[in-house]
């Protein structure tokens, strides 16, 4: 646990220093820093953490590859070279597909470790609220996007739907287990959502320093909580003794 905390503190300091070094001559410095940190965190996870899950491994691999491709796409050094071989549209579809696969693997991981029968029995109201909210968000998304390219629209829909389901299940998972491990997992998913929103703001609306630093913090924070919870064990829940197990 301590080694993970020290690693992320050092990585955060390094990311901030790298951002200030790049920002003077590259307005996309925040993007480059965020896209570089995911592969570094992935290597740390696979090399130094012993307790691993197959589906979490898939998530980490997808994030590593997707962020590495995104870094190349936004890189001044490689950008001209890559755009002569990889159309930006195709790279966007590939990265979104990889991230969606990563989120779906986490969805399966959570779904396999909770009892939906008990969830329905004990959390009917939260389920109703979350379902209504999710339906409304998808409705707003579908009606606010101009469908100029149906393929990109479909991939965007799958990506956002998988992220929404993951966030919803992470909250249900926390209500179900009610322990530190599930809370850290929920925080990781929550920061992914915040990171996604900040990424849109930084890329299309404003490249102010504050947005870049918050985006970097959210990105590192999401991986921090994910990696921390991998080494934790679930506490047994006295409320549901018939369903006690670790995940």
Asked if the model's pLDDT at residue 135 lies above 60, the reply is yes
**What sign has the CA pseudo-torsion 169, 12, 197, 29?**
negative
Q: At what angle do helices 180-200 and 150-177 cross, to 10 degrees?
A: 150
Indicate the range of 183-187, 197-201, 233-237 predicted with least confidence: 233-237
CA 126 to each of CA 119, 131, 172: distance values in angstroms, whole numbers, following the listed order? 10, 8, 8
Q: How many CB atoms lie within 10 A of CB 239?
A: 11
Is the pLDDT score of 14 beyond 60? Answer: yes
pTM: 0.85
More confident residue, 147 or 140: 140
Instruction: Quickly tell me which residue has 């936004």 as its tokens.
Output: 74
For tokens 């009917």, the residue is 124
Does residue 225 register a pLDDT over 90? Answer: yes
pLDDT (tens digit, 9 = 90+) per residue, 145-169?
Answer: 665 667 777 888 888 889 989 998 9
Cα dihedral 159, 165, 171, 174 sign:
negative
The percentage of residues in the chain with a pLDDT greater than 70, rounded to a whole number, is 81
Give the mean model confidence (pLDDT) for residues 172-198. 89
Q: Are 158 and 100 in contact (CB under 8 A)?
A: yes
- Local structure of 167: helix, strand or coil: helix
d(CA 35, CA 32): 5
* pLDDT score, position 204: 67
Dihedral sign computed on CA atoms, order 17, 5, 231, 165? negative
Q: Which long-range contacts (CB under 8 A, 24 or more apart) does 117-123 make?
A: 118/176, 118/240, 118/243, 119/172, 119/175, 119/176, 122/239, 123/172, 123/175, 123/176
């Amino acid at each position: 646990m301590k080694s993970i905390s020290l690693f992320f503190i050092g990585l955060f300091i390094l990311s901030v220093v790298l951002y200030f070094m790049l920002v003077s001559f590259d307005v996309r410095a925040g993007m480059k820093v965020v896209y570089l940190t995911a592969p570094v965190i992935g290597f740390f996870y696979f090399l130094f953490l012993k307790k691993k899950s197959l589906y979490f491994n898939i998530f980490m691999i997808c994030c590593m590859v997707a962020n590495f491709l995104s870094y190349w796409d936004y890189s001044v050094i490689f950008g001209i070279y890559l755009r002569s071989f990889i159309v930006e549209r195709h790279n966007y579809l590939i990265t979104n597909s990889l991230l969606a696969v990563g989120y779906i693997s986490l969805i399966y991981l959570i779904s396999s470790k909770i009892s939906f029968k008990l969830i329905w029995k004990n959390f009917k109201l939260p389920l109703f609220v979350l379902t209504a909210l999710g339906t409304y968000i998808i409705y707003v998304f579908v009606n606010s996007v101009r469908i100029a390219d149906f393929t990109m629209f479909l991939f965007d829909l799958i990506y956002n739907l998988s992220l929404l389901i993951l966030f919803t299940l992470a909250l249900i998972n926390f209500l179900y287990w009610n322990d530190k491990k599930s809370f850290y997992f929920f925080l990781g998913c929550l920061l992914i959502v915040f990171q996604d929103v900040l990424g849109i703001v930084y890329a299309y609306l404003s490249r102010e320093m504050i947005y870049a630093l918050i985006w970097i913090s959210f990105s590192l924070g999401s991986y921090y909580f994910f990696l921390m919870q991998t080494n934790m064990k679930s506490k047994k829940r006295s409320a549901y003794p018939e369903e006690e197990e670790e995940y």
